[in-house]
Amino acid sequence: MLEDSGFEQITIGPPVDTFRGARGEANARSFDVYGYAFLAHRT
């Protein structure tokens, strides 16, 4: 989707277990949800 929007040189950081220990943890686990950092440059 980023590339389709005109971004390039895309970097994705390691997953972060954002919801661990939170009330939303069960839903996050259901769909393997993690937080990520993204870096991209506009063409």
Q: Which residues are near other proteins by CB under 8 A? A: 1-2, 4-7, 11, 13, 16, 18-19, 21-24, 27-28, 30-43
CB of 29 to other proteins, least distance (A): 10
Q: Which residue in 39, 35, 41, 42 sits closest to 11, CA to CA? A: 39
CB of 26 to other proteins, least distance (A): 9
Answer whether 34's CB lies under 8 Å from 16's CB. yes
Query: Amino acid identity of 38?
Result: F
CB of 24 to other proteins, least distance (A): 3
Both tokens assigned to 12:
């994705």
